[in-house]
């Protein structure tokens, strides 16, 4: 028996990166998957967007594990599309037990170069999109008699980081959502937790904007230590975060709720 055998998990931002890794890791332990991704561009991001081919690869990877998957292109900002994807997935797979609100963007800029559009898009996707995910999916967990919700925040959800003002604001907001939902949904035996990675080796985590940070830190050297990990690693792998998601999704974490779980190599201790 796998650690999440017989469960169904809904994952946003599942076409690649952490989202695909979460889908595969949960499938390895027996879960069926409902996967969505925008699979399209967002203005201002410094890395190539996910594509329909990426989402199809997630489908292939999950099916190769002999698990079922329902995948749809949907934007976490579009409540109607989100609800349709969730409801169709539950209708096909029979239930919903786990929600992983993973979709997000990251656009770097010094504080005085952030545009209103970038600030709006970042909060719409990284914060309102998480709220949409939980509010639309949670009724299915209530119907199932309980479950687990995992929200992807960041080290930047627990501390301030330079050149990331909109991202920091959104990821701190995710912690607020997690804590509020954890208490309101507890009576339904639904646990809500957040995960807080340091840098992760994904298209977003290794994009052109990240390379620009080095130049900005040369101009502002007193800020450099804020990006330092205590452990001697510069970047983590998606599966490192997926293993934390798996634990929180599993019955091993049956009494774990309202937790900000760091997978940050000590980054938030600085």
Taking a C-beta distance cutoff of 8 angstroms, is the pair 10, 137 a contact?
Answer: yes
Q: Which residues does 255 contact at the CB level (< 8 Å), separation at least 6?
A: none
Q: Which tens digit of pLDDT belongs to each residue from 66-101?
A: 999 999 999 999 999 999 999 999 999 999 999 999
Mean pLDDT, range 252-257, rounded to an integer: 98
* Total domains in the fold of the chain: 1
- Residue 122 domain flag: yes
We report the CATH number of the domain holding residue 156 as 3.40.50.720
121 lies in a domain? yes
The pLDDT of residue 208 is 63
> Which residues are CB-contacts of 91 (< 8 A; sequence separation ≥ 6)?
none
Angle at 73 between CA 103 and CA 250, to 5 degrees: 50
> Of 258, 186, 19, which Cα lies nearest the Cα of 9?
19
In a domain? residue 186: yes
The enclosing H or E element of 209 equals: helix 208-219
Q: 83 or 46, which is more confident? A: 83
Residue 168: pLDDT over 80: yes
Taking only the tens place, the pLDDT of each residue in 181-225 is 999 999 999 999 999 999 999 998 776 666 788 899 999 999 999
Residue of 252, 269, 259, 163 whose CA lies nearest to 214: 163
Does 237 map to a domain? yes
Q: Is residue 2 part of a domain?
A: no
The answer to the question of residue 251 being in a domain is yes
Range of the structural domain that residue 251 is part of: 8-261
pLDDT value at residue 205: 79
In this predicted structure, which of 20-24, 196-200, 213-217, 235-239 has the lowest mean pLDDT?
Answer: 213-217
Q: Measured between alpha carbons, how far is 15 from 23 in angstroms, rounded to an integer?
A: 9
Q: Which residues are catalytic?
A: 167
1 inside domain: no
CB atoms within 10 A of CB 77: 16
Instruction: Tell me if 267 is assigned to some domain.
Output: no
What are residue 26's phi and psi, to 5 degrees? -70, -40
- Which pLDDT band holds residue 270 (cuts at 50, 70, 90)? confident
Q: What is the pTM of this model?
A: 0.97
């Amino acid at each position: 028996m796998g650690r999440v055998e017989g469960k169904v998990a809904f994952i946003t931002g599942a076409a690649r990166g952490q989202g695909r890794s979460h889908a595969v890791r949960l499938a390895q332990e027996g879960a069926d998957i409902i996967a969505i991704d925008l699979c399209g561009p967002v203005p201002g991001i410094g890395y190539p967007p996910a594509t329909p081919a990426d989402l199809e690869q997630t489908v292939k990877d999950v099916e190769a594990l002999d698990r079922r998957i329902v995948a749809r292109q949907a934007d976490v900002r579009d409540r109607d599309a989100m609800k349709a994807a969730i409801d169709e997935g539950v209708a096909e797979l029979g239930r919903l037990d786990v929600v992983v609100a993973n979709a997000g963007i990251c656009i770097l800029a010094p504080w005085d170069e952030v545009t209103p559009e970038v600030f709006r898009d970042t909060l719409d996707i990284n914060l309102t999109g998480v709220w949409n995910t939980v509010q639309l999916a949670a009724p299915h967990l209530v119907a199932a008699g309980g479950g687990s919700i995992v929200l992807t925040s960041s080290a930047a959800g627990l501390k301030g980081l330079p050149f990331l003002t909109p991202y920091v604001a959104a990821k701190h907001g995710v912690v607020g959502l997690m804590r509020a939902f954890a208490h309101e949904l507890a009576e339904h035996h639904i646990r809500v937790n957040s995960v807080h990675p340091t840098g992760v080796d994904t298209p977003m985590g290794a994009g052109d904007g990240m390379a620009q940070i080095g130049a900005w830190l040369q101009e502002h050297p007193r800020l450099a230590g804020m990006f330092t990990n205590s452990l001697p690693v510069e970047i983590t792998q998606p599966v490192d975060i997926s293993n934390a998601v798996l634990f929180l999704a599993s019955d091993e974490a049956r009494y774990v709720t309202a937790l900000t779980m760091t997978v940050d190599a000590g980054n938030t201790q600085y």
